[in-house]
Amino acid sequence: MRALCLCLLFLCPVFSNAQDSRKVSCRFLGFEGTPPPPPLLNIIDKGVEVTCTVPPDTFSPEVVCLARNNTIGFISSVDRKPAASAVIPVGVNAVILAFFPPAKEPNALPWRVFVIEDSLKNFPDGGAFVASLHTQDVRVTLGEHKILLKPYKNHGFARPEQRDAFNMAETVVELQQKDAWLGGCESMLRFIPGMRYLIFAYYDTALERPRVTTYQDFIRPPAPPLKSK
């Protein structure tokens, strides 16, 4: 009986660690105009590392990383120092991680990471996911969809019903700057099944004008559920 108790005692930390970690399917994206970081490493276990390459202006292939206490940590493959950290919402097992330059604050990590849940509910097939990186409101029109995004908020849009014969729909993004509304984007985008858009809206302080960056993403076949470690 004493031997059994000792075994259970030794196993408790193992169970605890398993509950605090989970596998997460990740795709990486280097933000427009930003030189990507050197390959990053996610430490899965002692002696086991996963290499994560962040391509510029496009999505990487899927890489399975380990989140501990809902956070994925990355170290640089060059000097093995902490490079970035991504907080993963509870219950989310597939994400897109967009990498941005560091925040202008003391002791900031070399890279900031914008986390997007990679699901059709959040990021609809044939639709778009719009994220505001702006300090004021952003107005978005996609076909019949119209929404006001508060600072640093985001929204997933279903495929617009108001499309022309070529599946094109009006797409307008305006940014509030002080008391004025400035046009960041006004165009026609093609919305078709199997493809969706990731759109970032922000104010370029260097150029002193609003910017809208758009990426195309193609739907992949659904992957089998990941088993927690």
User: pLDDT, tens digit, for every residue of 148-161?
Assistant: 999 999 999 999 99
The answer to whether 198 touches 163, Cβ cutoff 8 Å, is: no
| Segment 199-210, tens digit of pLDDT | 999 998 878 889
Average of pLDDT values for 188-216?
92
Q: Name the helix (H) or strand (E) containing 10.
A: helix 2-19
> Higher model confidence: residue 221 or residue 162?
162
Query: What is the structure's pLDDT at 13?
Result: 38
Mean of the pLDDT values across residues 47-74? 94
What domains are there in the chain, each with its CATH number? 21-118 (no CATH), 122-220 (2.60.40)
Q: Nearest CA to 40 among 68, 81, 88?
A: 81
**Other C-beta atoms lying within 10 Å of the C-beta of residue 95:** 24
What does the block give as tokens for 113?
């990471």
pLDDT, tens only, 138-148:
999 999 999 99
Per-residue pLDDT, averaged over 207-223, amounts to: 83
The pLDDT of residue 90: 94
Per-residue pLDDT reduced to its tens digit, 97-142: 999 987 777 788 999 999 999 998 888 999 999 999 999 999 999 9
Which among 57, 91, 49 is positioned nearest to 73, based on CA atoms?
49
Question: If DSSP codes are grouped into helix, strand and coil, which group holds residue 177?
Answer: strand
Task: Write the secondary structure of 213-228 as one string of H (helix), E (strand) and C (coil).
Answer: EEEEEECCCCCCCCCC
Q: What is the DSSP string of 122-139?
A: TS-TTSEEEEE--SS-EE
The pair of structure tokens assigned to 63 is: 């890489």
pLDDT in tens, 15-27: 334 458 999 999 9
Mean pLDDT, the chain, integer: 86
Looking at residue 229, its pLDDT comes to 53
